Structure 1
Amino acid sequence: MKPIRLALLTAAGLVLRGVARAQTPEATAPAKAAGMSEQEVLFWLLMGLLGLLLGALLLVGITIVVQMKPQLRQLYDLPTVHNTWSGKVLGLLVGDATLVRGEYKDEMLDHDYDGIHEFDNDLPPWWKYGFGFTIVFAFVYVGYYHLTTKGQLQVAEYETEMRQAALLVSAGSDDPTKLTTYLALTTAADLGEGKSIYTTNCAPCHGANAEGKVGPNLTDEYWLHGGEVNHVYKTIKYGIPSKGMVAWKGKLSGKQILQVTSYALSLQGSNPANAKPPQGEKEVPGGKPVAGL
């Protein structure tokens, strides 16, 4: 008995030491920082209890079906039950999947094509149910979206989302949906600064002479997102993430973006060697911008 008492005393001492350490500020501070709120704890506790309850009910149901399988089989074999829909549902519990798989008649038809024989079997019920569901869904879809016009089609949904997105964007000078009205810079100092910025940041993708590498050629008349100075300015500032064009907003000032934009446009028609084939649409001259930076 002595060793048992000694072991119990040792275990009790370890438990008390653990409780005492847990009550110290050093031990409780990290727990509070990483702990969940009372509502979250209660939510996950209830979810855990619900999961345990559903698991227990499922286990009880399976146990009942297994224990009563002989009686269910006898009930299923009754002629008044076997061919009914409820009887076929009962058949799923005793191992007969006729409700889902259907019945195989194995009656061979009288025609023969290249040695291929065809049996006169119905389509599986699951296929029929699925086909019927698609028909019902088609009528509901056409009625909701095309007849009552309560549902928005793709174009209308896109336009609604764009209007909602515009409400979230500030209407100030930093609005990406508002085109600027800058003039291209032409002084040697501005173009020289633009060339320096281009060489450092743009040449790896567009080439040292803007001939195009990963990015498009900037010296021809074709543009993917507009070749007017304010369109190019917008492309550089906000980028085109879907095509790998990074946004230089926050990395370059507005003056620097206009300088590199002006330098890129000054290379129009320079015809560098190994120029990349044209991409996009040919730029059509439009209205002139009315303001400078």
Structure 2
Amino acid sequence: MLAPAKTTRLALLTAASLLLRGVAHAQTPETTAPAKAAGMNQQELLFWLLLGLLGVLLLTLLSVGITIVVQMKTQLRQLYDLPTVHGTWSGKVLGLLVGDATLVRGEYKDELLDHNYDGIHEFDNDLPPWWKYGFYFTIVFGLVYVGYYHLTTKGQLQAAEYETEMRQAALLVSAGADDPTKLTTYQALATAADLSSGKSIYTTNCAPCHGANAEGKVGPNLTDEFWLHGGEVNHVYKTIKYGIPSKGMVAWKGKLSGKQILQVASYALSLQGSKPANAKEPQGEKEAPNKPVAKL
């Protein structure tokens, strides 16, 4: 029984000595300019050293505690069996050390209640304490949550929290011309030349997914009034430029110029209401028609 105690005292004295030595060294004025260390500085080294010593100390105390419990299990059992100790809260904690899990699983009275249903008998046993206290905790947590978020309105609900995070994220994104969060302010092109160029670009790059007449294949139908990501020309421009990777829509920035993207977006809008054969079913939200005036 004396060896663990000596080990604990030795560990405490060693930690205190190293701590005092480190503090005294830190307070000693430097006579020369300190050289930059390639690794950790003195404060970091002292922190990790103390953290390691703390870990060793905790492991030592744990091992000493386990040793004491193992060696004194008989005496602890006798103490636990005393009527004045057995039924108390501290006695139940002591019971965990000697192998009685009543504090965790509750009392098993094995007493039948005076009723049964279809031959099913019910015992009058306690609910597990961990379950009861966990349930009580959820009630208290629910009351605090409702009071903080709904009654005092000091906490942000999901929608407000999302808006706050989006504003914070916008500050970290470049606000330049290539900012995907910044919507352009273009007007749909309406001249025959622009729409003809848009048609040529569409036939080469977009028809394989959206169909030769924009009726929709893998991609959605572009001739109806329903849009997945917005049907206004600047929304269509953004969709073409940055793509929708999660749905297989590739980004065309770097492959098409800004003017070419605007031309093909304007051409796609010019096809609204054309009602091609074998048109794909509508997808997304309905929006008012928005197409260039000029026709090819």
TM-score, length-scaled by structure 2: 0.73
The alignment partner of 1:38 has SS state of coil
Q: How far apart are 1:60 and its partner, in Å?
A: 3.4
Q: Give the Cα separation in 2 of the matches to 1:92 and 1:214.
A: 64
- Alpha-carbon distance, 1:101 to partner: 0.2
Indicate whether 1:80 and 2:84 are aligned: yes
CA distance in 2, matches of 1:46, 1:263: 70
Question: Equivalent residue for 2:188?
Answer: 184
Report what 2:222 is aligned to.
218
2:233 aligns with 229
Counterpart check, 1:149 vs 2:153: yes
Q: Which residue number in structure 2 is paired with residue 115 of structure 1?
A: 119
Partner of 2:40: 38
2:104–2:128 contact (8 Å) kept in structure 1: yes
Shift of 1:241: 4.4
Distance 1:206 1:285 in 2: 19
Q: Secondary structure at the match of 2:161?
A: helix
Structure 2 Cα separation of the partners of residues 64 and 246 of structure 1: 68
Q: Which runs of 5+ in 2 are unaligned?
A: 1-37
> Once the 2 structures are TM-superposed, how far is the Cα of residue 251 of structure 1 from its aligned partner?
3.8
**Alpha carbons of 1:140 and 1:188: their partners in 2 closer, same or farther (altered >3 Å)?**
same
- Quick check: 2:225–2:289 contact (8 Å CA) kept in 1? no
The reply on whether 1:207 has 2:211 as its aligned counterpart is: yes
With over 3 angstroms needed to count, the CA separation of the structure-2 counterparts of 1:180 and 1:38, relative to structure 1, is same
The 8 Å contact of residues 242 and 251 in structure 2, kept in 1 or not, is answered as: yes
Counterpart CA distance in 2 for 1:250 and 1:146 is 48
Over the residues paired in the alignment, what is the CA RMSD in angstroms?
3.0
| Corresponding position: 1:264 with 2:264 | no
Match of 1:61 among 62, 65, 74: 65
Structure 2 letter corresponding to 1:76: Y
**Among 125, 128, 133, the residue aligned to 1:129:** 133
Task: Report how far residue 256 of structure 1 moved.
Answer: 1.9
Deviation of residue 191 (structure 1)? 3.7
User: Shift in Å at residue 219 of structure 1?
Assistant: 1.7
Q: Where does structure 1 lack aligned partners over 5 or more consecutive residues?
A: 1-35
Deviation (angstroms), 1:38? 2.1
Deviation for aligned residue 1:174? 4.0
How far has the Cα of 1:170 moved from its partner? 4.6
SS in 2 for 1:284: coil
CA, structure 1 residues 192+100, in 2 after alignment: closer, same or farther (shift >3 Å)?
A: same
> Which residue is 2:285 aligned to?
281
Is the 2:223–2:274 Cα contact (8 Å) retained in structure 1?
A: yes
Deviates more, 1:67-76 or 1:171-180: 171-180
Q: Secondary structure at the match of 2:122?
A: strand
DSSP 3-state at the match of 1:74? helix
Contact 2:202–2:264, Cα closer than 8 Å, also in 1: yes
Output one character per residue of 1:185-230: Cα deviation in whole Å (capped at 9) or x when no partner: 3455544443444345434443344322332111212112221212
Q: 1:256 to 1:41 in 2, by over 3 A?
A: farther
Aligned length: 253
Structure 1 distance, partners of 2:210, 2:61, is 65
Distance 2:206 2:123 in 1: 69
TM-score in terms of structure 1 length? 0.73
Deviation sequence 1:70-93 (CA, Å, 0-9, x none): 221111111111111011011111
Query: Which residue identity is paired with 2:40?
Result: E
Query: Secondary structure of the residue that 2:108 maps to in structure 1?
Result: coil
Q: Aligned in 2, Cα 1:69/1:167: closer, same or farther, shift over 3 Å?
A: same
* Kept in 1: contact 2:197–2:264 (CA 8 A): yes
Distance 1:55 1:202, change over 3 A: farther
1:139 equivalenced with 2:143 (yes/no): yes
Question: Which residue of 2 is the match for residue 30 of structure 1?
Answer: none
The 8 Å contact of residues 272 and 289 in structure 2, kept in 1 or not, is answered as: no
The one-letter code matched in structure 2 to 1:283 is E
